[in-house]
Amino acid sequence: MTIHPRSSAWPADRVAEARAVLADVAHHSDLLIRLACNVLVQHGETPDERADAQRLLVVVDARRPVRRAQREDQGRAVR
């Protein structure tokens, strides 16, 4: 097993990936959006970027129960 040393670019790479995910949320899963928000909440460059990521995280988490309820309702309708 090879252990790769962490480069100093790790946080910058993750922040860039998180920004790319949030720039195109329509094409990413809620799980990936949540991960990207968490990265930016912790490592965002500005207070505004961190606050925006936190707000989006709240929105994504708030809609999760609705989707679960819709799936359950659709399952009952099929029966």
On the question of pLDDT at 4 being above 70, the answer is no
CA distance 3 to 31: 27
pTM score, two decimals? 0.71
CA distance 27 to 47: 26
pLDDT, position 11? 86
CA distance 68 to 21: 23
Residues 37 and 57: beta-carbon distance below 8 Å: yes
Enumerate the domain spans of the chain: 12-77
- Reported as a single tens digit per residue, the pLDDT across 10-39 is 789 999 999 999 999 999 998 999 999 999
pLDDT, position 1? 53
- Reported as a single tens digit per residue, the pLDDT across 49-74 is 999 999 999 999 888 777 776 777 77
In angstroms, what CA-CA distances link 79 with 50, 70, 71?
45, 15, 13
Instruction: Count the neighbouring beta carbons within 10 Å of the beta carbon of residue 33.
Output: 20
